[in-house]
Chains A and B, each alone.
Chain A
Amino acid sequence: MNKRIVVVLSILAVVVGTPPVSPAGPKNDGRPDGGTLGYGEYGRPSTLDPITSNEMVSLRITELVFNGLVGIDEKQEIVPELAERWEASKDSRTYTFFLRKDVMWHPREGEEAKPFTADDVVFTYKIMMHPKTTTPLKVRYEFIESVEKLGDYGVQFTLKRPILNALAKFSFKVIPKHGPSHPLYLTREDPFVRHPIGTGPFVVKTITTDREIVLVANENYFKGRPHINRFISKPFADQNIMTQALMFNAIDMVVLVNPRDIPELQGDKRFVLQPYNALSYAFFGYNVRSPLLADKRVRQAFAYAVNRQEVLDSFFNGQGTLVSGPFAPGSWAYNLDVRPLPFDPQKAVALLRQAGFAPGPDGTLQKDGKKLTLSLKVPIEKESEAVKRVVLAFQNYLKNIGVAIKVEFKEWQAWKESVFQEHDFDIVFASWVFDDSADISSLFHSAEIGAWKNNFGGYSNPEVDGLIVESKLTLDHEKRRTINRKLHTILAEEAPYTFLWTLTNYSGYHKKLRRVAIHPYKFFSFADEWFIPAADQK
């Protein structure tokens, strides 16, 4: 399940702050510098820059190498990063950022380090929005009308319309003007995407022949040199080995421990198991274009037929929570008053009867001579045995109420094509990862139906469309909350998905690592503060 479809948007809280400007150099916080951290990753990222990449693996690396104008701290509050302070106009349509003057880009080999200026910010925005640039970010920034440079260390953004939490959106990572080889757009062919330079705490040093990515501490990091000398990202093709590698000290950290390895690490005093919330949930998504699934009673019946708590307990050691609706659990938009549907196969059968289905000669339900047989498409992944368990259990539960599910395992690319492009499926099993828990417009708005759009099930409901737009436009947080709670209730009832669960993510690491704080989504945001006591540095 680590190949998730990522809905990238952003997070809450508007705080304007003026930070103390600390000089580059050591942090002088009394904690030791030195040591190496090797961490296991799920495969190897195809790109390492923040613009073209769309995988969790790359996202974690870019968090070490780059900075945004603003950052989001452990308490989910906006903090200054490349911008030391900012101002918003009264009508909330212009945002002016005043940049730090002590930030240097990582030097390329044999070159002097170049200073970070307003030109880089303007350049990043322009390259991000260029039609030829390969990036999932464009839709996130369409609310910006223009950007203007105010001297070398000032940038002003003008918005098309005021939006709620605009400031959080300026956490996009800034890339250097002298970085990409093409001055106007960035594609995956540009050498920059494989050997990027940023302003962040770590510098991409080499990619070894074993596909390990070696990052070294940036001595001139503007928040002070990070404590740990080197980060090494080690790709694992087979996740079974990753926990073993940790236990045998081949690596020091696993970013996402396989649920079934949790008891093993829990019992071992050498390691720390740290939970973090990933704002994600798993679901069965239905193609409502199918005449069999167009009736919401059928979709509701499926939700009643599956004992989700049993699946969660048996396959994931109960490390998670059932969800009832479309918002990321744990976010302010999630409506706790809507309870997850209970396991009730009798009710499921009754609902299917109401929808006009009756048992046929072979026990499979049918209506007007048409059997209730549906295809469930699942991407084949070598490490996806948890996925396999869930879909086979689902198939089994539905068999018990007389529904035949044909599970089809497909290669990842072929799966994406049949789901997102051809819409040739009845049911899919997938999960969404959010970084803005409140924005579900790309999932359920009818304007998002079409090839390669996120509303792949073709769900369309004018009431939902209206509420989504209203929620996007409102500037009143309380009102937005009320709208989202209503959306949650409606979508839970309409069941375009069977909402399953959110899993508690665990990172496992050697206890020599200290002061480890983990960002729920970007993971390494606070890694410059991590350290290894001198005695453990080897």
Chain B
Amino acid sequence: MTRYSQIAGEGRDASDLPVWRSADTLDLAYIGYGLLIVALVLVSYVLGVFNWLPHDPEQIRFDLLNAPPGSAGHLLGTDFLGRDILSRLIVAIQAYFLPGLVAIVISLMVGTTLGALAGYRGGEVEVLVTYVNNLVDSFPRLVLILLVIAAFKADIYYIMIIVGVTGVPVVASLVAGKIAFLRQKHFIEAALVLGLPSHVIVLKHILWYHCGPLLVIRATIGMGEAILIETSLSYLGFGVQEPMPSWGNMVQAGANYFFQGKFWPSTAPALAILLTILGFHLLGDGLNSILEDRGGK
């Protein structure tokens, strides 16, 4: 059955095939890998929350400093204080999970609101939103974060709030562009003719039906970005602070021993960062080509 909205050009293409059947294999592989990473992250988060770990991540062992992988039951070896690297890798997810969500929620909520206002209302509102976007965008993100750290303290939540706020312009311009494009479609006219109030049109017909995939894609990429920002800050010494592990501070601490041939303390978290960020980006990429670009292919 065809709904009225589809006649008006709203909604999905009137194809009988499910989305994944029409996608090509590479995109599916991307998404599959991405989902695997997401699942691993979720599992690690849960393991961390319930403290189901191979070792106590804060247990210092003076007799096992930088022990190689496999020694004394430490699968990935130990770090510069003899702490188990695998347990710390798992617990480190805690450092990103909630703070990363905070960053994503902020940039999506604020970005979508501003984008919808600018795209739907246009005119002066659009000028104002563009102005605010440019203002935030022109400020170097790392400098802003370092300023906040200097003014308050090196706290991951403060950092992630900045990451969220500075992520707003990207989301806002994406949403605004999308709406500006949709506004010319017949289904909006139809909705207006039907007398639907603006908030229903914006929330349901525009955001819910059409911007969902866009926002999911942004969210996955945003999570990758949050991890990357924390990593660069940790390298400067301003990220998550010891003894709480984060992949960034693990790489940083381990790097001090890299030249001595003890590569595992920094390599393990570095690989974790690489594979995870790759996962989030490929997931975003795969979703993007399946959900957004189908028409163009």
Contact surface of A with B, Cβ cutoff 8 Å = 240-241, 243-244, 260-261, 264, 310-311, 313-315, 380-382, 385, 388-389, 392-393, 395-396, 407-411, 414
A-B contact pairs, 5 of them (CB 8 A): A260-B257, A264-B260, A310-B62, A314-B63, A411-B149
A327 to chain B, nearest CB (A): 29
Binds A, one of B32-40, B67-75, B205-213, B234-242: B234-242
**Residues of chain A with a CB closer than 8 A to B236's CB:** 382
- Whether a CB of chain A sits under 8 angstroms from the CB of B243 is yes
Say which residue of A385, A396, A414 sits within 8 Å of B60 (CB atoms).
Answer: A396
Tell me whether A392 and B256 are in contact (CB under 8 A).
Answer: no
- Whether a CB of chain A sits under 8 angstroms from the CB of B80 is yes
- Whether a CB of chain A sits under 8 angstroms from the CB of B150 is yes
**Residues of chain B with a CB closer than 8 A to A310's CB:** 62
- Whether a CB of chain A sits under 8 angstroms from the CB of B65 is yes
Tell me whether B80 and A409 are in contact (CB under 8 A).
Answer: no
Tell me whether B260 and A409 are in contact (CB under 8 A).
Answer: no
Q: Encode contact with A along B250-293: 1 for CB under 8 Å, 0 otherwise.
A: 00010111111000000000000000000000000000000000
Tell me whether A393 and B150 are in contact (CB under 8 A).
Answer: no
B281 to chain A, nearest CB (A): 29
- Given A310-B62, A396-B60 in contact, is the A380-B80 Cβ separation under 8 Å? no
Q: Which residue of A lies closest to B261 (CB)?
A: A264
B7 to chain A, nearest CB (A): 62
A319 to chain B, nearest CB (A): 15
Q: Encode contact with A along B203-243: 1 for CB under 8 Å, 0 otherwise.
A: 00000000000000000000000000000000011100111
Q: Which residue of B lies closest to A382 (CB)?
A: B237
Tell me whether A389 and B154 are in contact (CB under 8 A).
Answer: no
- Given A314-B62, A380-B238, A409-B241 in contact, is the A392-B259 Cβ separation under 8 Å? no
Given contacts A408-B241, A409-B237, A411-B149, 6 further A-B contacts (CB under 8 A): A244-B259, A261-B260, A382-B236, A382-B237, A396-B60, A407-B242
Q: Which B residues, 4 to 38, have Cβ-Cβ distances below 8 Å to chain A?
A: none
A449 to chain B, nearest CB (A): 27
Interface size class of B (residues with CB under 8 A): 20 to 34
Tell me whether B80 and A389 are in contact (CB under 8 A).
Answer: yes
- Whether a CB of chain A sits under 8 angstroms from the CB of B126 is no
- In the bound complex, how far is the Cα of B258 from the Cα of A244, in angstroms? 11
Interface of A (DSSP majority class): helix
A411 to chain B, nearest CB (A): 6
Tell me whether A393 and B253 are in contact (CB under 8 A).
Answer: no
Most buried by A among B253, B256, B259: B256
Tell me whether A392 and B237 are in contact (CB under 8 A).
Answer: no
**Residues of chain B with a CB closer than 8 A to A396's CB:** 58, 60
Tell me whether B153 and A408 are in contact (CB under 8 A).
Answer: yes
Q: Which residue of A lies closest to B255 (CB)?
A: A240
Tell me whether B253 and A409 are in contact (CB under 8 A).
Answer: no
Tell me whether A381 and B260 are in contact (CB under 8 A).
Answer: no
Tell me whether B242 and A385 are in contact (CB under 8 A).
Answer: no
**Residues of chain A with a CB closer than 8 A to B242's CB:** 388, 392, 407, 409
Tell me whether A407 and B241 are in contact (CB under 8 A).
Answer: yes
- Whether a CB of chain A sits under 8 angstroms from the CB of B46 is no
- Given A392-B243, A396-B58, A411-B150 in contact, is the A385-B238 Cβ separation under 8 Å? no
- In the bound complex, how far is the Cα of B65 from the Cα of A260, in angstroms? 12
Tell me whether A414 and B150 are in contact (CB under 8 A).
Answer: yes
**Residues of chain B with a CB closer than 8 A to A314's CB:** 62-63, 65
B230 to chain A, nearest CB (A): 15
Most buried by B among A260, A261, A395: A260
**Residues of chain B with a CB closer than 8 A to A392's CB:** 60, 81, 242-243
**Residues of chain A with a CB closer than 8 A to B58's CB:** 396
Tell me whether A389 and B81 are in contact (CB under 8 A).
Answer: yes
B237 to chain A, nearest CB (A): 4
B57 to chain A, nearest CB (A): 12
- In the bound complex, how far is the Cα of B62 from the Cα of A442, in angstroms? 36
Q: Which B residues, 43 to 76, have Cβ-Cβ distances below 8 Å to chain A?
A: 58, 60, 62-63, 65
A44 to chain B, nearest CB (A): 18
A367 to chain B, nearest CB (A): 25
B120 to chain A, nearest CB (A): 45
- In the bound complex, how far is the Cα of B278 from the Cα of A449, in angstroms? 55
Say which residue of A260, A388, A408 sits within 8 Å of B260 (CB atoms).
Answer: A260
B217 to chain A, nearest CB (A): 36
Shortest 4 CB-CB contacts between residues of A and residues of B:
A380-B237, A314-B62, A385-B256, A396-B60
- In the bound complex, how far is the Cα of B258 from the Cα of A260, in angstroms? 12
**Residues of chain A with a CB closer than 8 A to B238's CB:** 380
Q: Which residue of A lies closest to B235 (CB)?
A: A382
Tell me whether B154 and A385 are in contact (CB under 8 A).
Answer: no
**Residues of chain B with a CB closer than 8 A to A260's CB:** 257, 260
- In the bound complex, how far is the Cα of B256 from the Cα of A382, in angstroms? 10
- In the bound complex, how far is the Cα of B255 from the Cα of A311, in angstroms? 21
- In the bound complex, how far is the Cα of B80 from the Cα of A388, in angstroms? 10
Q: Which residue of A lies closest to B59 (CB)?
A: A396
Q: Which residue of B lies closest to A396 (CB)?
A: B60
A270 to chain B, nearest CB (A): 17
Tell me whether A407 and B237 are in contact (CB under 8 A).
Answer: no
**Residues of chain B with a CB closer than 8 A to A410's CB:** 153
- In the bound complex, how far is the Cα of B1 from the Cα of A101, in angstroms? 110
Tell me whether B256 and A240 are in contact (CB under 8 A).
Answer: yes
- In the bound complex, how far is the Cα of B239 from the Cα of A382, in angstroms? 12
**Residues of chain A with a CB closer than 8 A to B241's CB:** 407-409
- In the bound complex, how far is the Cα of B242 from the Cα of A166, in angstroms? 47
- In the bound complex, how far is the Cα of B241 from the Cα of A283, in angstroms? 22
- Given A382-B237, A385-B253, A392-B242 in contact, is the A240-B259 Cβ separation under 8 Å? yes
- In the bound complex, how far is the Cα of B237 from the Cα of A407, in angstroms? 14
**Residues of chain A with a CB closer than 8 A to B62's CB:** 310-311, 313-314, 393
Q: Which residue of A lies closest to B62 (CB)?
A: A314
A458 to chain B, nearest CB (A): 24
B146 to chain A, nearest CB (A): 9
Tell me whether A381 and B256 are in contact (CB under 8 A).
Answer: no
**Residues of chain A with a CB closer than 8 A to B80's CB:** 385, 389
- In the bound complex, how far is the Cα of B81 from the Cα of A407, in angstroms? 16
Say which residue of A241, A381, A409 sits within 8 Å of B154 (CB atoms).
Answer: A409
- In the bound complex, how far is the Cα of B80 from the Cα of A393, in angstroms? 11
Tell me whether A395 and B243 are in contact (CB under 8 A).
Answer: yes
Q: Which residue of A lies closest to B257 (CB)?
A: A260
**Residues of chain B with a CB closer than 8 A to A393's CB:** 60, 62, 81
- In the bound complex, how far is the Cα of B65 from the Cα of A414, in angstroms? 31
Q: Which residue of A lies closest to B83 (CB)?
A: A392
- In the bound complex, how far is the Cα of B65 from the Cα of A393, in angstroms? 12
Tell me whether A388 and B65 are in contact (CB under 8 A).
Answer: no
Q: Which residue of A lies closest to B146 (CB)?
A: A411
**Residues of chain B with a CB closer than 8 A to A241's CB:** 259
A263 to chain B, nearest CB (A): 9
Q: Encode contact with A along B79-107: 1 for CB under 8 Å, 0 otherwise.
A: 01100000000000000000000000000
